[in-house]
């Protein structure tokens, strides 16, 4: 019983109330604004030089690579227009030793090698001759061939972008630490290794995964309205959104197209409130931060993303194991264990190793809703190295894991909601049934339904009764990507619940917000940005030269 009570007490520490949500939104908006006006602010609000989002008509064959935090993906994307594409991809886990390599070269040579392997495997027939011809020339500019691949490089770490394919690394996050790379142009680092392998590939665009997600969602999402925001909830968390140029008042160095009046801004919201003015805090959060490679930095991310949720759970479980009054993973005798055994934790348990627990256990805990928690207990056994975990053990894990994940999703709602409000995307409410109670009043009543899943359905039903339907052009579209939001059961529902709690959004606004997974976001998005970059390329480029040479030959013939 003591364990049960203690788990409940800890879970309560992770409660993030509606009031908390609103105070965080206010601060988030303030920090967003500050980042648009000045350099060196908590939220970097990095201009990306991407000034338009696609509409689904774009076409062409592109390469894309994605250095996430856990995996490296290589893909080729054939954009077919009409919002359709064909994607071939391969994925490898990034070797841990390369994340903390002595030199940048070690990591980037590995990346270039994966591109070579991918081309050999998937595009050999078509490109073999071109690869051979490229072998004789050292730079892609010197290599004149229509069939050179333009590559979009998704690099999901903070960079100071100075052009569409130029950007210097500001700092590493997500456990990477290669000091030598800081300040270097990551596109040049990759191009150099590609050139050493003589591949027919040009690094055409530097893409943050959030921007890629935004572009991909905008290309594939139904309806006329472009996507507002691309958000990642994977190893890390971050978002990029479409901002009015007039609001980006800090100096920008690069060239860009001013005609759209907009630019995509990469918020780097992982570092929201590093000063800890409003973010929730527990002793477990504090310990995680203290033992991390970057204490005091990425404080929002450390409460939200996949890299950290498993670690928070691990820290809590270890503190319970140390407690003399609580018995976790250890029964006094077999009578107190419904599997008639005594539970025991192995000395080699990953619980005793920092970062030893993957966040997917939180999803496993959420998924098992049976009385016996049999499946979860098997996971606990396998993942934590615990022999015969008891029902009470599993219940405690489930309670705590749920609280950690729910707080994460409600914090995610803070970021999404703040951006919707700051960009003023919610049109004023039109009441279609004037009467004693306005539609918005009815909907605000609806907002008071607190149960996560039921609320949305009930809200929709009541809103429909009130005659309020959302028009296509009122929809605010948000694309999301990352294993946490894709696989944690109910993550999106808790985000939606959080959105309804936000003043200025409420149930009325929440109905207008559409959140969809950006399928293959990083690949398709990077391809789209490579396409934009290729279009922007100066006529002195190889393609232009080739065409002019061909035209000249025609002239001479005539």
Should residue 487 be labelled a site residue for ligand ADP when binding is judged by CB under 6 A?
yes
Q: Which of 47, 54, 69, 158 binds ligand ADP (CB under 6 A)?
A: 69
The 10 Å Cβ neighbour count of residue 490 is 18
68 lies in the site for Mg ion, by CB under 5 A: yes
By beta-carbon proximity to Mg ion, the closer residue of 235 and 327 is 235
Interacting positions 220-249 with Mg ion (CB under 5 A):
234
Any idea how long the chain is?
558
Number of residues located near Mg ion, criterion CB under 5 A: 2
Of 186 and 362, the one with the shorter C-beta distance to ligand ADP is 362
Other CB atoms within a 10 A radius of the CB of residue 540 amount to: 9
362 binds, among Mg ion, ligand ADP, none (CB under 5 to 8 A by kind): ligand ADP
CB of 357 to ligand ADP, least distance (A): 9
Interface with ligand ADP includes 483 (CB under 6 A)? yes
For the CB of residue 66, give the shortest distance to ligand ADP in the complex, in Å: 7
Are 466 and 442 in contact, with CB atoms under 8 Å apart?
Answer: yes
Phi/psi for 153 (5° steps) reads -105, 105
In this structure, the number of other CB atoms found within 10 A of the CB of residue 548 comes to: 12
Smallest distance, ligand ADP to C-beta of residue 128, A? 31
**Rounded to a whole number, what is the distance in angstroms from the first to the last CA of the chain?**
94
Name the token pair of 553: 């030959």
Compare residues 68 and 490 and give the one whose CB is closer to Mg ion.
68
Work out how close the CB of 77 gets to ligand ADP at its nearest, in angstroms, rounded to a whole number.
17
Which among Mg ion, ligand ADP, none contacts residue 307 (Cβ within 5 to 8 A by kind)?
ligand ADP
488 belongs to the binding site for ligand ADP (CB under 6 A): yes
In terms of Cβ atoms closer than 10 Å to its own Cβ (0-12, 13-18, 19+), residue 389 is buried
Region from 23-31, 353-361, 416-424, 434-442 binding ligand ADP, contact rule CB under 6 A: 353-361
Q: From 543, 554, 521, select the one nearest 147 (Cα to Cα).
A: 543
Give how far Cα 65 sits from Cα of 74, 119, 527, Å.
Answer: 4, 12, 9
Q: Which of 20, 268, 289, 358 binds ligand ADP (CB under 6 A)?
A: 358
**CA diameter of the chain:** 98
Site for ligand ADP contains 362 (CB under 6 A): yes
State the minimum distance, in angstroms, from the CB of residue 90 to ligand ADP: 14
Q: How far is the CB of 298 from ligand ADP (least distance, A)?
A: 14
3-state secondary structure of 542: helix
Helix, strand, coil fractions of the chain, as percent rounded to 5: 45, 15, 35
Q: How far is the CB of 249 from ligand ADP (least distance, A)?
A: 32
What does the DSSP assignment read for 113-159? HHHHHHHHHHSHHHHHHHHHHHTT-SSTTTS--TTPEEEEEEE-S-E
Taking the CA atoms of residue 373, residue 379, residue 385 and residue 390 in that order, the dihedral angle to the nearest 10 degrees is 0
Residue 404: DSSP 8-state: H
Tokens read off for 294: 């970057």
User: Which of 221, 483 has the CB closer to ligand ADP?
Assistant: 483
Question: How far are the Cα atoms of 77, 304, 309, 375, 493 from residue 413, in angstroms, in the given order?
Answer: 31, 11, 17, 30, 10
Identify which of 249, 342, 253 has the alpha carbon closest to the alpha carbon of residue 34.
Answer: 249
Query: Near Mg ion by CB under 5 A, which window of 20-28, 35-43, 62-70, 447-455?
Result: 62-70
Question: Would you count residue 521 as binding Mg ion (CB under 5 A)?
Answer: no
Q: How many residues bind ligand ADP (CB under 6 A)?
A: 19
Query: In the set 484, 505, 513, 534, which binds ligand ADP (CB under 6 A)?
Result: 484
Binding pattern for the stretch 391-430 against ligand ADP, x by CB under 6 A and - elsewhere:
----------------------------------------
Nearer to ligand ADP among residue 76 and residue 483 (C-beta): 483
- The Cα 106–Cα 385 span in angstroms is 34
State in angstroms the smallest separation of the CB of 232 from ligand ADP: 7
Q: Does 307 bind ligand ADP (CB under 6 A)?
A: yes
CB of 166 to ligand ADP, least distance (A): 23
Q: b/e map of 89-109 (b: 16 or more CB within 10 Å)?
A: beeeebeeebbebeebbebbb
Q: In the window 120-159, what residues touch ligand ADP (CB under 6 A)?
A: none
Is 230:239 a contact under the CB 8 Å cutoff?
yes
Q: Least distance from C-beta 101 to ligand ADP, angstroms? A: 17
CB of 425: closest distance to Mg ion in angstroms?
25
| Residue with Cβ nearer Mg ion (208 or 271) | 208
Is residue 68 close enough to count as binding ligand ADP by CB under 6 A? yes
Q: How far apart are CA 321 and CA 550, in angstroms?
A: 75
Alpha carbon 485 to its chain's center? 9
Compute the least distance from the CB of residue 217 to ligand ADP, in Å. 15
Residues 223 to 242 in contact with ligand ADP, rule: CB under 6 A = 234-235
Residue 6 touching ligand ADP (CB under 6 A) = no
Q: Is 37 helix (H, G, I), strand (E, B) or coil?
A: helix
**Helix 186-196 and helix 104-122, axial crossing angle in degrees, nearest 10:** 60
- In whole angstroms, the minimum distance from the beta carbon of 71 to Mg ion comes to 8
Among 427, 480, 445, which Cα is nearest to 213's?
480
What CA–CA distance (Å, rounded) separates 201 from 148? 6
Binding to ligand ADP by CB under 6 A, coded x per residue (else -) over 427-466, reads ----------------------------------------
Residue 91 vs 258, nearer CB to ligand ADP: 91
Give the binding range for ligand ADP (CB under 6 A) out of 113-121, 191-199, 358-366, 439-447.
Answer: 358-366
**Interacting residue with ligand ADP among 167, 212, 239, 482 (CB under 6 A):** 482
Residues of this chain that bind ligand ADP (CB under 6 A): 68-71, 234-235, 306-307, 310, 358-360, 362-363, 482-484, 487-488
Residues at the site binding Mg ion, with contacts judged by CB under 5 A: 68, 234
């Amino acid at each position: 019983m003591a364990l049960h009570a203690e788990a409940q007490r800890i879970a309560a520490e992770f409660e993030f109330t509606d009031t908390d949500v609103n105070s965080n939104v206010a601060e988030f908006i303030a920090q967003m604004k500050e980042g648009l006006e000045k350099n060196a602010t908590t939220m970097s609000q990095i201009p990306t030089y991407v000034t338009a989002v696609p509409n689904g008509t774009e076409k062409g064959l592109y390469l894309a690579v994605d250095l996430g935090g856990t995996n490296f993906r290589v893909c080729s994307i054939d954009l077919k227009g009409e919002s359709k594409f064909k994607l071939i991809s391969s994925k490898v886990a990034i070797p841990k030793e390369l994340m903390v390599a002595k030199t940048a070269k070690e990591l980037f040579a590995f990346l270039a090698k994966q591109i070579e392997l991918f081309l050999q495997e998937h595009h050999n027939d078509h490109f073999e001759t071109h690869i051979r011809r490229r072998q004789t020339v050292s730079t892609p500019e010197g290599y004149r061939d229509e069939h050179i691949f333009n590559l979009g490089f998704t690099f999901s770490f903070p960079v100071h972008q100075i052009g569409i394919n130029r950007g210097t690394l500001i700092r590493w996050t997500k456990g990477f630490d290669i000091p030598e790379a800081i300040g270097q142009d990551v596109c040049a680092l990759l191009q150099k290794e590609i050139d050493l392998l003589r591949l027919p590939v040009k690094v055409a665009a530097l893409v943050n995964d959030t921007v890629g997600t935004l572009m991909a969602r905008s290309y594939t999402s139904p309806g006329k309205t472009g996507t507002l925001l691309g958000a990642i909830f994977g190893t890390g968390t971050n978002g990029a959104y479409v901002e009015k140029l007039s609001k980006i008042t800090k100096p920008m160095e690069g060239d860009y197209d001013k005609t759209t009046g907009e630019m995509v801004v990469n918020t780097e919201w992982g570092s929201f409130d590093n000063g800890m003015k409003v973010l929730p805090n527990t002793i477990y959060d504090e310990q995680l931060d203290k033992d991390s490679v970057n204490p005091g930095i990425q404080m929002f991310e450390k409460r939200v993303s996949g890299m950290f949720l498993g670690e928070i759970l691990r820290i809590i479980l270890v503190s319970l194991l140390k407690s003399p009054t609580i018995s976790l993973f250890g029964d006094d005798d077999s009578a107190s264990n419904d599997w008639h055994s005594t539970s025991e934790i192995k000395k080699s348990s990953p619980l005793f190793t920092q970062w030893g627990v993957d966040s997917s256990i939180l999803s496993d805990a959420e998924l098992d809703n049976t009385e016996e928690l049999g499946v979860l207990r098997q996971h606990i056994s396998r993942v934590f190295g615990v022999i015969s975990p008891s029902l009470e053990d599993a219940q405690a894990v489930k309670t705590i894991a749920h609280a950690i994940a729910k707080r994460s999703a409600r914090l995610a709602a803070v970021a999404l909601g703040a951006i919707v409000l700051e960009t003023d995307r919610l049109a004023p409410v039109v009441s279609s049934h004037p009467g004693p109670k306005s539609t918005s009043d009815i909907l605000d009543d609806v907002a008071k339904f607190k149960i996560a899943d039921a609320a949305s359905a009930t809200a929709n039903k009541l809103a429909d009764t009130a005659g309020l339907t959302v028009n296509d052009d009122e929809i605010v579209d948000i694309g999301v990507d990352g294993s946490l939001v894709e696989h944690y059961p109910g993550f999106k529902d808790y985000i939606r619940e959080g959105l309804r709690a936000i003043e200025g959004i409420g149930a009325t606004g929440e109905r207008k917000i559409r959140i969809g997974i950006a399928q293959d976001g990083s690949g398709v998005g990077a391809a789209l940005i490579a396409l934009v970059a290729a279009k922007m390329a100066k006529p002195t480029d190889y393609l232009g030269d080739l065409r002019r040479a061909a035209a000249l030959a025609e002239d001479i013939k005539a």
